[in-house]
Amino acid sequence: MKLSTSKPYNDYSSYIREKFGERIQKISINLGLSCPNRDGTKAYGACTYCNIHTFSPDYCKPSKSVTQQLNEGISFFSLKYKTQKYFAYFQSYTNTYGEIEEIKKHYLEALSHPEVIGLVIGTRPDCISTHLLNFLEELSKKYYISLEFGVESTLNRTLELINRCHTFEDTINAFEMSKNRGIYLGAHIILGLPQESKDELLSHALQLSQLPIKTLKIHHLQIVKHSLMAHQFKEDPSFFKLFDVNEYLSFLTEFIQFLRPDIIIERFISESPPNLLIAPLWNGLKNFEFNERLLKKCKENDIYQGLKWK
C-alpha cells in the first residue's frame, strides 16, 4: 500500500507543518557535556568518526547560558523566518549524561522561553535512566518532547570498530524503556561505516523498523578533520568504501523500501562544514538539492517508503 503523502517518503517538514500548522525551527544548544567513551568512563578518544565542531553553530557555546544561546539562535533565524516557534535542540555530545538534576534545570530553562514549545534531546542508548524518562514523560504532557538515540549501526562488530562502547542490545533496551511515555522517539543511523556489506546496510532498515521510532535521521559516512577516522583514512583509504552521490542516491532508493512506512525521515545526508570535510567531496551539494534528486529518482522508478517492508 502506498503512502498517503504526495512524496514517496514521509518527510519531517511536512509532518511538523501538519502537526503544528506552521514551520518550527530547531535552535541548537550546547551544554558542554561529555560522553562515556570520551571521559574514560568506558573509553577515551570518542567515536572514531566524531568531531563535535561539525554540527555546532557559532552561537552554540557552552560558556553561554541556555537562554542566551536560544536568544542568539532566534535572532539569527528570525531574519529569514519572521513568525515561527522553536524547539530547543540539545545536540552536542550526550545530553542526558551528567548530573541529572542539573540537566533537568537546563531543560526547564529552555522551556521557560516564551518562543520555545518543545525539546529535542540527542543522546546515547546507554545514557538514559528511568528517573530522567519519568521527568520527560511529565514534560510531554505539556510540551513536544523528542528523544533521539544515536544507533549508528545495528551490527555489534561495527559498533566495536567505531568505539561506540555500547551494543545494539543496549539500543533495543533504551527504546523499550522509553516507549509509551508520550515522548517522540528518534534514531540516527550512519550508512557506509567500514566493513559493512550492501546487504548488511539494507538490513539496518529492517532492524530500525522493529524499534518504536517516530523519526529517523540518515547520515552518509563523512571523514572529517580531527577525528580518528581522518587518521585511518590517511593511513589506508581502502579501508573505507565511501559513497559517491549517484551510488548513494541509488542505494537510498533501495533502503527506504525496507523502512516501516510510518517512520518520518528527517534527513538523508550529513552536512559537515567544508573546512572540516575530507571525504567524500560532493561539490558542495546541499541537503535540499540532494532531496530533489532523490525525489525525482523515486518518482521515475515508482519507488516509495515501505514498498518491501515485511
DSSP state, 263? Answer: P
Domain-embedded: residue 31: yes
Mean pLDDT of the chain: 93
Take residue 80 and report the three cell numbers written for it. Answer: 529569514
Highest mean pLDDT among 42-51, 54-63, 159-168: 159-168
pLDDT, tens digit, 9 for 90 and up, residues 205-214: 999 999 999 9
The residue range of the domain holding 177 is 12-300
Average pLDDT over residues 213-230: 96
The Cα 10–Cα 241 span in angstroms is 28
Helices (H) and strands (E) in the chain, counts: 10, 9
Q: For the chain, how many structural domains are there in total?
A: 1
Residue tagged 587518521 (cell numbers)? 231
The Cα 168–Cα 203 span in angstroms is 13
pLDDT, tens digit, 9 for 90 and up, residues 93-148: 889 998 999 999 999 999 999 999 999 999 999 999 999 999 999 999 999 999 99
Does residue 54 carry a pLDDT above 80?
Answer: no
DSSP state, 218? Answer: E
**What per-residue confidence (pLDDT) applies to 81?**
79
Domain-embedded: residue 160: yes
Domain-embedded: residue 101: yes
Decide: 150 and 125 in contact? Cβ < 8 Å. yes
The Cα 300–Cα 72 span in angstroms is 43
Take residue 284 and report the three cell numbers written for it. Answer: 558542495
CATH number of the domain within which 55 lies: 3.20.20.70
pLDDT, tens digit, 9 for 90 and up, residues 274-290: 999 999 999 888 999 99
**What per-residue confidence (pLDDT) applies to 43?**
86
Domain-embedded: residue 6: no
Domain-embedded: residue 3: no
Domain-embedded: residue 189: yes
pLDDT: which is higher, 64 or 3: 64
Q: In the beta sheet, which residues pair with residue 277?
A: 224
Domain-embedded: residue 248: yes
Please compute, for residue 281, the number of CA atoms within 13 A of its CA located in the half-sphere on the CB side.
6
Pairing state between β 215-220 and 264-267? parallel
Count of CB atoms situated within 10 Å of the CB of 298: 21
Count of CB atoms situated within 10 Å of the CB of 302: 9
Domain-embedded: residue 306: no
Amino acid at position 135, single letter: F
Per-position b or e across 12-41, b if 16+ CB within 10 A of its CB: eeebbeeeeeeebbebbbbbebebbbbeee
Does residue 60 carry a pLDDT above 80?
Answer: no
Q: Residue 38 contacts by C-beta under 8 Å, 6 or more apart in sequence?
A: 44, 45, 46, 93
